[in-house]
Homo-oligomer: A and B are copies of this chain.
Amino acid sequence: MQKMINGRPYTETEDGPRFKPCAPNGVLARLGDKWTILVLSHLAIAPGYRLRFSELKHGIEGITQRMLTLTVRNLERDGLLLRHYYPEVPPRVEYELTEMGASMLPALEGFTSWIRDNWPRIEQCRRNYDAEQ
């Protein structure tokens, strides 16, 4: 069995433990990018976990067509949402959270509550730190 620390796999080396960068870093980096969480959040509260491209674009302030396209493509590639294309005129495209996609945000719940609890303190620490420089 793979050795684990705080849910992170690692291997022992003569220089100590070496954490594997693969899964957690990659997923967190994706979630931490500028638009992914916003797209997931909007779909998570939509009826049927479904929204049209234009609804997403309209609902997310500041996102460009290009970035929305890239963001949903990545999520589709990861199997977190499905793309439904209706070849009408004008065309209609709906994005739908998969079961896996829908389960992701709730899995973050423990962490988001940690953030909620600690955010004021973090901000205070930043102010203190900046004031000393």
A residues within 8 Å of B by Cβ? 5-8, 10, 15-19, 21, 23-25, 27-34, 37-38, 41-42, 44-45, 58-59, 61, 76-80, 100, 103-116, 118-119, 121-122, 124-126, 129-130
Partner of A76, one of B7, B31, B129: B129
State the Cβ distance, A69 to closest chain B Cβ, in Å. 15
Further pairs besides A16-B58, A77-B126, A107-B110: 7, Cβ < 8 Å: A7-B112, A15-B59, A16-B42, A17-B59, A25-B37, A27-B115, A78-B125
Which residues does chain B contribute within 8 Å of A7, judged by CB atoms? Answer: 105, 108-109, 112-113, 115-116
Copies assembled: 2
Tell me the complex Cα distance, A31–B130, Å. 21
